[in-house]
Amino acid sequence: MNTGLFIPCFVDQLYPDTAFSMIKVLEKADEVARTHMRFDYNPGQSCCGQVAFNGGFWDEAKQIGEKFIRDFREYDYVVGPSASCIGFIKNYYQQMFYNSALHNENNYLARKIFELTDFIVNILKVDDLGASFDTRICFHDSCTAAREYGLSDQPRRLLDKVRGLEIVEMKKSEECCGFGGTFSVKFEAISTAMAEQKTANAIDTGAEYIVSTETSCLMHLQAYIDKQGLPLKTLHIADLLARGLKNN
């Protein structure tokens, strides 16, 4: 099986180490599953179009989407470390390309593109990577991951098997962190208040890290943490699992 690696522009520009962590975790999961997959990165790939679409530039978003579909058309699967971007592709591409020349190709893409933890748990059928990480964390359920992609227990199933890791659930883990893309720019005061509440709930657990599947949420929370000097850090689940593999 030939699997394409989708690296969202946000990860590519701001968190490239998370992309390398995803590759390390996928290779380990493939080894455990014995599926002998080939993971390939297409350097010509670009944004999925979500930023333009959310900003009201729908024609431009469709142009970007057309390129995205063609960039990943040859793969058996496509995997990325962001349920937000992939949820956008699965839902809004259906509207953009309905009854168009790319209608069938888009439907095929929607069936074969997966968020990282969903791919590992439900496609590779692996939940134990043999990782170890001695720390306490709480998990932030991204609202777009849950509501647009439909992510549920897949991240926690992987985290539950990490040796030495203590997971403490924070209050209202499913509530928005306040980022919401341009929401944090247009409604800065509300966005900041939401980050304040989220980090307060995390600190109440005694966790060292807030972990999530979404780098955008974590960037927003880390900025608030740094500004307030809070005793807390953020970590993408791919980075946690990759570090856990290094500890072995």
Give the other-Cβ count within 10 Å of 105's Cβ. 16
CATH number at residue 147: 3.40.50.11810
Percentage of the chain modeled with pLDDT above 70: 100
Total domains in the fold of the chain? 2
Between 103-112 and 83-96, two packed helices, what is the crossing angle to 10 degrees?
Answer: 160
| Domain shared by 102 and 75, yes or no | yes
Domain boundary among 123, 142, 175: 123
- Per-residue confidence at 36, pLDDT binned at 50, 70, 90? very high
**pLDDT, tens digit, 9 for 90 and up, residues 221-248:** 999 999 999 999 999 999 999 999 987 7
User: In which domain, by residue range, is 181 found?
Assistant: 132-246
| Domain shared by 216 and 114, yes or no | no
| Domain shared by 158 and 226, yes or no | yes
> 148: which 2 tokens?
């647009």
| Domain shared by 108 and 20, yes or no | yes
pTM, whole model, 2 decimals?
0.94
Percentage of the chain modeled with pLDDT above 90: 85
| Domain shared by 169 and 100, yes or no | no
> 94: which 2 tokens?
């259906």
- Coil, strand or helix at 126: coil
- Per-residue confidence at 86, pLDDT binned at 50, 70, 90? very high
